Amino acid sequence: KPYLNKPTGSRSEALYNEALQHIVGGVNSPSRSFKAVGGGAPVFMKRGKGAYFWDEDGKRYIDYLAAYGPIILGHAHPHVTAAICRAAENGTLFGTPTELEVVFARMLKSAIPSLDKVRFVNSGTEAVMTTIRVARAFTGRSKIIKFAGCYHGHSDLVLVAAGSGPSTLGIPDSAGVPKSIASEVITVPYNDSEALEAALAHWGDEIAAVMIEPIVGNFGMVMPKPGFLERLCTATRRNGSLVIYDEVITAFRFHYGAAQTFDGLEAPSYAAIEPDLTALGKIIGGGLPIGAYGGRKEIMDKVAPLGPAYQAGTMAGNPASISAGIACLEALQEPGLYDRLDRLAASLEAGLAAAARAHGIALTINRIRGSLSTHFCNHPVSDYEEAQDTDGELFAHFFRSMLEQGICLAPSKYEAWFMTAAHTEQDIADTITAADHAFAKLKPY
Ligand code: PMP
């Protein structure tokens, strides 16, 4: 197995060995470690520009990681960079409200009409965590339903995995999450309306909210089946529970708006699938730390200082993040931008599929506009079980070979490839050539 964990003598390796002495696991987020792809030193990046970043040894990579989503414009986009510099010069934190927050709230509301009111926080985790608190405050109930394989950040309630069976009380997915908390969470399979309706029928008036990624980005890119979100909204509301959309990945990903306003969803109307609360993050920060949540006025008015649900933040709404977010959303309004991402991803999908076929590699590609996921298997992937039932070892070898050839993917078989506005047709062609080499080498395995 020639790619796995072979010493490279690189600066990344030296830095990693030192990082291990000081930073737990050598990384500040476990998803950055190479544990899932055979171990060893992750690549340490030094600088990025457009669709590329360069590691500590000066090697260039075409970047499909896009920092797990936020970097949709590419690295160091001039408009965003200028906004960040301006914010830095004017003072990065005041502990008072600023006009920027008002401007940005208005921008988000006009793109996502279900947001009567919003609150800015510092991460997707915080945004999701708070939507749950607010839903509980509003309904006076404590349980939530979530879907297997959806990731909603690392707060206690959503670090709960499915037990066995179609709809189950959760089991803690992390040490440190008490069983008492896990017992407040019911996990059902994605795209399974019957299981969801059964869970709602069983736990009925104990459910504060159903939390969902309206389009999945965390076990590959997975669309809800036609009618799934509509049935979810109808069934959830029938017993007085709220619908929460986690749009941390999906907002501004497929078009200038959120998944809830994306016409690729095949819903009868936006109103039929509109959530009560929405969590946002990633792209809306233009590459700086941010999160936001919002929704119906009467629900949001439960939040302090208007209401009894407490949520606060020293850094929340800071001028640097908000300025970067405004600049990012301004740049995303360039006519044709999302169609370009769509076209690039379509060429990449076609090229990857043809190369895999040519080498006899079973590969399922899920593509939604400018993002796609690759699954080493010969069946469709529409829920977590199907995403798990794929060849992780083949993926690890593919990942290593691509990295060696200067193509950077996320080091996990579950993560998506994200197109950025900076990628070119040439980048896509180079990526397909690299994939062809990688698939050729995969053959013996
Ligand atoms: N929700 C979703 C759908 C996510 O993908 C993520 C992060 N990958 C989060 C929430 C958590 O966001 P953050 O990492 O900013 O806390």
Q: Of all helices (H) and strands (E), which one includes residue 16?
A: helix 11-22
pLDDT of residue 172: 83
Active-site entry in 143, 146, 282, 413: 282
Q: What is the 3-state secondary structure (H, E, C) of 154-214?
A: CCHHHCEECCCCCCEECEECCCCCCHHHHCCEEEECCCCHHHHHHHHHHHHHHEEEEEECC
pLDDT at 165 over 80: no
Ligand 1 pocket residues where CB is under 6 Å: 68, 123-125, 128, 151-153, 213, 217-218, 246, 248-249, 281, 291
Report phi then psi at 20, rounded to 5. -60, -25
CATH code of domain 11-76+335-442? 3.90.1150.10
The DSSP symbol for 222 reads B
Look at 289 and 5; give whichever has higher pLDDT.
289
Residue of minimum CA distance from atom 12 in ligand 1: 124
pLDDT band with cut points at 50, 70 and 90 for residue 10: very high
pLDDT of residue 216: 97
pLDDT tens digits along 98-141: 999 999 999 999 999 999 999 999 999 999 999 999 999 999 99
pLDDT of residue 266: 85
Contact 273, 265 (CB under 8 A): yes
Distance, CA of 143 to CA of 155 (rounded, Å): 15
Portions of the chain given CATH number 3.90.1150.10: 11-76+335-442
pLDDT of residue 204: 85
Looking at the chain, the whole-number percentage of residues with pLDDT higher than 70 is 97
Portions of the chain given CATH number 3.40.640.10: 78-332
Q: What is the mean pLDDT of residues 43-55?
A: 98
C-alpha pair distances (Å), 287 with each of 107, 209, 337, 354:
18, 30, 18, 34
Lowest mean pLDDT among 264-268, 283-287, 358-362, 407-411: 264-268
User: How many C-beta atoms lie closer than 10 Å to residue 160's C-beta?
Assistant: 25
What ipTM did this prediction achieve? 0.99
Query: CB under 8 Å to 246, separation ≥6 — which residues?
Result: 124, 128, 150, 152, 211, 212, 213, 214, 278, 279
Pocket test for ligand 1, best of 152, 211, 284 (most atoms within 8 A of CB): 152
Contact 418, 69 (CB under 8 A): yes
- Start-end of H helices in 280-381: 297-300, 319-332, 337-358
Contact 303, 134 (CB under 8 A): yes
Amino acid found at 239: N
pLDDT of residue 2: 47
C-alpha pair distances (Å), 340 with each of 282, 336, 344, 369, 371:
21, 6, 6, 9, 12
Q: Report, in this order, helix, strand and coil percent for the chain, each rounded to 5.
A: 40, 15, 40
pLDDT at 3 over 90: no
Query: CB under 8 Å to 18, separation ≥6 — which residues?
Result: none
For residue 305, cis peptide bond before it (omega within 30 degrees of 0): yes
Residue of minimum CA distance from atom 9 in ligand 1: 153
Q: What is the mean pLDDT of residues 346-354?
A: 98
Partners of 334 in the β-ladder: none
- Tokens (6 digits) for 344: 């690039």
pLDDT band with cut points at 50, 70 and 90 for residue 37: very high
Residue of minimum CA distance from atom 7 in ligand 1: 153
pLDDT of residue 129: 98
Ligand 1 center from residue 220 Cα (angstroms): 14
Ligand 1 center from residue 249 Cα (angstroms): 7
Distance, CA of 170 to CA of 178 (rounded, Å): 11
Contact 419, 428 (CB under 8 A): no
pLDDT of residue 267: 86
3-state SS class at 407: strand
Query: Is position 246 annotated as part of the catalytic site?
Result: yes
Taking the CA atoms of 347, 352, 358 and 360 in sequence, report the sign of the dihedral they define: negative
Residue of minimum CA distance from atom 13 in ligand 1: 124
Query: Is position 282 annotated as part of the catalytic site?
Result: yes
pLDDT of residue 8: 80
Q: What is the mean pLDDT of residues 91-103?
A: 97
Q: What is the mean pLDDT of residues 291-317?
A: 98
Q: What is the mean pLDDT of residues 26-52?
A: 96
Ligand 1 center from residue 57 Cα (angstroms): 30
pLDDT tens digits along 214-244: 999 999 999 999 999 999 999 999 999 999 9
- Tokens (6 digits) for 70: 């936020």
| pTM score | 0.97
pLDDT band with cut points at 50, 70 and 90 for residue 5: low
Distance, CA of 152 to CA of 160 (rounded, Å): 10
Query: Is position 6 annotated as part of the catalytic site?
Result: no
pLDDT of residue 444: 58
pLDDT at 213 over 90: yes
CATH code of domain 78-332? 3.40.640.10
Q: What radius of gyration do the chain's Cα atoms show? A: 22
Ligand 1 center from residue 69 Cα (angstroms): 10
pLDDT band with cut points at 50, 70 and 90 for residue 166: low
Nearest-atom number in ligand 1 for the CA of 125 is 16
